[in-house]
Amino acid sequence: MYAHRLPAGWRNRLRRINTFGPMEVMVVGRCDLLALKLMGIAKRPHDLEDIETMRPTSPEIDFLDDYLDQQEAESLDRETFERQRSILKELRSTL
């Protein structure tokens, strides 16, 4: 997992799945998973299919837009995310 790519506040959105003795199993929230998949598209093209299957809602797409803004603001090499933004635009058009 690309922990450095997780959106701010991701720990607050963790969900507990189950507890097995002393081990507690948690998963990232849906918006956080969408963000990871959006960032992973460059290296894992099947992540786009996963995002499409998840059918993000308008508030989730807004969250992802804000997330991309945050990533660009924090990028030391002035990385832009035009491909990811075009994907969000396409997803928004299907709502």
Q: What is the mean pLDDT of residues 6-21?
A: 94
The identity of residue 24, as a single letter, is: E
pLDDT score recorded for residue 79: 77
Q: Give pTM, 2 decimals.
A: 0.87
Please enumerate in sequence order all residues whose Cβ is within 8 A of that of 6, keeping only pairs 6 or more positions apart, or say none: 28, 32, 35, 36
Q: What mean pLDDT, rounded, does the chain reach?
A: 92
Q: Which tokens hold the place of 63?
A: 């969250």
Q: How many CB atoms lie within 10 A of CB 17?
A: 10
pLDDT score recorded for residue 2: 63
Number of H helices and number of E strands within the chain? 4, 2
Q: What is the mean pLDDT of residues 42-59?
A: 95
Q: Write out pLDDT tens, residues 71-94.
A: 998 887 877 899 999 999 999 999
